[in-house]
Amino acid sequence: MSGVDGRIAMVTGAGRGIGLATARLLVSRGADVMCIARTGEELAATGLPYTVADLGTPEGCAHAVAETERRLGAIDILACNHGIGSAHERVVWEQPRETWDETMRINLDGPFWLSRLVLRSMIERRYGRLVYTSSTAGEVAEYAGSAYTSSKHGLLGLMRSVARDAGEFGITSNAVLPGWVRTEMAEKSAAAEAEQRGITVDEVWRERDALYPPKRVATPGEVAETIAFLASEEASGISGQAVTVALGGAS
């Protein structure tokens, strides 16, 4: 019997990449999963239950939680994976305020609102698993990525605060910190870097592969396996932890 069997999970950013891999893995292990993202076409293609919502607003977060509870029941697992990357960012002194505000709204404010909403029911039932997808940029700054870096550092603070506040109610809160993973977001970053440096996208990926001892980047499935474990009953002794999934290398 799987440690998520029969549990109700809400997975954000589930239209592609790590979020989609996580949703499919949880379903394969017996969980009932609601997929959340901003793009209906991507979600429809998953073949899983879904709700379209803007998770950068309190209203969008409330809609996602309400629809999940209405259609599936009280949420046991929140896998908070949505976010935007740093491909469009600039160095600090040239960073547009709009870029900073948008990144914080989606990458940090959204997870806060979602956590606040799901925790009330989890506390009543004395059970819950919250898993946030941060990044190795949550510990080491990216060049020309102040908004993304700050949001991912902040996400670790939120995760640890939830662990501290809600731990007495049988709730755990953890984060995964992937290094480079070949997702659509990372492809956009590679394209922007290639253009800036005057090299090919393949060269960018070869450099990224070289950062890790196996000479490759992680797969969405490898990150999803870690999320699924932290979301399981077997992970009851782990809370307030940032788990790096980077194949033993740097970001």
Residues of the chain with CATH 3.40.50.720: 8-180+219-245
What is the rounded distance in angstroms from the CA atom of residue 8 to the CA atom of residue 232?
A: 11
User: Tell me: the pLDDT tens digits for 67-86?
Assistant: 999 999 999 999 999 999 88
pLDDT tens figures, 122-177: 999 999 999 999 999 999 998 889 999 999 999 999 999 999 999 999 999 999 99
84: exposed, middle or buried (Cβ count in 10 Å: 0-12, 13-18, 19+): buried
Q: What homologous superfamily is domain 8-180+219-245 in, according to CATH?
A: NAD(P)-binding Rossmann-like Domain (3.40.50.720)
Give the Cα-Cα-Cα angle 233, 235, 236 (nearest 5 degrees).
75
pTM: 0.95
The question of whether 148 is a catalytic residue gets the answer yes
Q: Which residue among 50, 127, 132, 148 is the active-site one?
A: 148
Please report the sign of the dihedral spanned by the C-alpha atoms of residue 174, residue 220, residue 194, residue 37. Answer: negative
